[in-house]
């Protein structure tokens, strides 16, 4: 069994997790014997080759998929507070709703009274710097602004754990860097537990306390790497630190081997 060091007061605990899908030639194993833990308030990045089960893992943690085997533990649902919220890759705003209505959407599903959900939505719209666009529709916003709406919508429900599936993958480099800084600022204020899937080694190093590396399919935890940089972080200073280059090269060596392995017939 592949086991990483479990932080104290784990908000997420996964043990021996397996996920199998039916296929035309028999069962397809997406995840095999995945074991790890994420501490309360910790920011953990998850990297691995394409198709290794990263998104499947997040969907299981969010309760959108059932595991085939193993155990998954997240905090129990509390009244008015879900255990998890997901920020998906790409644009997930509802085009027929304004920014305010999009951010209020999860609160409406929870039955939060109108006045309270309006106040909470306003606070989180302000947190992501979009108050001037609260009555705008998604088509009137840039892609980066729409992704900020998605983050505000997730945060408005006050989840214990924020699950982020390559949320900045479709953005240009400038907006990506700005939203990384924005996300860290929000995280430092809220100290939510975050599990962040990314293909970018740079993004993982900039944002996370630890990086979990998944193998080629079927996905399993190969190793964990602790990020050595103090918080709050200066992104420019990180890139100028010799540790950044060594850590990036080390992660790439691990990832490259798995990517090549996944291409073998």
Q: Is residue 134 part of a domain?
A: no
SS3 assignment, position 150? helix
| CATH label of the domain that carries residue 33 | 3.40.50.300
pTM score, whole prediction: 0.89
Q: Is residue 145 part of a domain?
A: no
Strand order in the sheet with 28-39: 28-39, 10-21, 69-73
Q: Is residue 133 part of a domain?
A: no
Q: Is residue 261 part of a domain?
A: yes
Q: In sequence order, what are the beta bridge partners of 132?
A: none
Count: domains in the chain: 1
Helix axes 143-156, 114-127, angle to 10 degrees: 130
Q: Is residue 265 part of a domain?
A: yes
Q: Is residue 244 part of a domain?
A: yes
Could you tell me which residue, 60 or 88, shows the higher pLDDT? Answer: 60
Q: Is residue 23 part of a domain?
A: yes
Q: Is residue 260 part of a domain?
A: yes
SS3 assignment, position 30? strand
CA separation for the pair 46, 197 (Å, rounded): 5
Give residue-wise pLDDT tens across range 173-223.
888 888 898 899 889 988 999 999 999 999 999 999 999 999 998 999 999
Give residue-wise pLDDT tens across range 24-66.
888 889 999 999 999 999 999 999 998 889 999 999 999 999 9
Query: Domain range spanning residue 22?
Result: 1-75+193-265
């Amino acid at each position: 069994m592949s086991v990483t060091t479990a932080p104290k007061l784990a908000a997420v605990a996964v043990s021996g997790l397996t996920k199998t899908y039916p296929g035309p030639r028999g069962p397809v194993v997406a995840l095999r014997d995945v074991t790890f833990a994420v501490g309360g308030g910790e920011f953990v990045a998850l990297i691995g080759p394409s198709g290794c089960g990263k998104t499947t893992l997040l969907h299981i943690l969010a309760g959108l998929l059932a595991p085939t085997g193993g155990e998954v533990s997240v905090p129990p649902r509390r009244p008015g507070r879900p255990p998890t919220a997901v920020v998906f890759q790409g644009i997930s705003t509802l085009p027929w709703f304004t920014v305010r209505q999009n951010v209020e959407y999860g609160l409406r599903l929870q039955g939060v009274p109108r006045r309270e959900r309006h106040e909470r939505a306003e606070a989180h719209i302000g947190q992501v710097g979009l108050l001037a666009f609260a009555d705008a529709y998604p088509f009137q916003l840039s892609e980066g602004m729409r992704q900020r709406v998605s983050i505000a919508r997730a945060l408005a429900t006050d989840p214990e754990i924020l699950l982020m599936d390559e949320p900045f993958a479709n953005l240009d480099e400038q907006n990506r860097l700005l939203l990384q800084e924005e996300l860290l600022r929000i995280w430092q204020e809220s100290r939510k537990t975050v599990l962040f899937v990314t293909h970018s080694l740079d993004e993982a190093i900039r944002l996370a306390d630890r990086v979990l590396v998944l193998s080629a399919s079927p996905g399993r935890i190969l190793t964990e790497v602790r990020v050595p940089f103090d918080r709050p972080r200066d992104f420019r200073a990180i890139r100028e630190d010799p540790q950044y280059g060594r850590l990036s090269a080390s992660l790439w060596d691990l990832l490259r081997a798995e990517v090549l392995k996944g291409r073998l017939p």
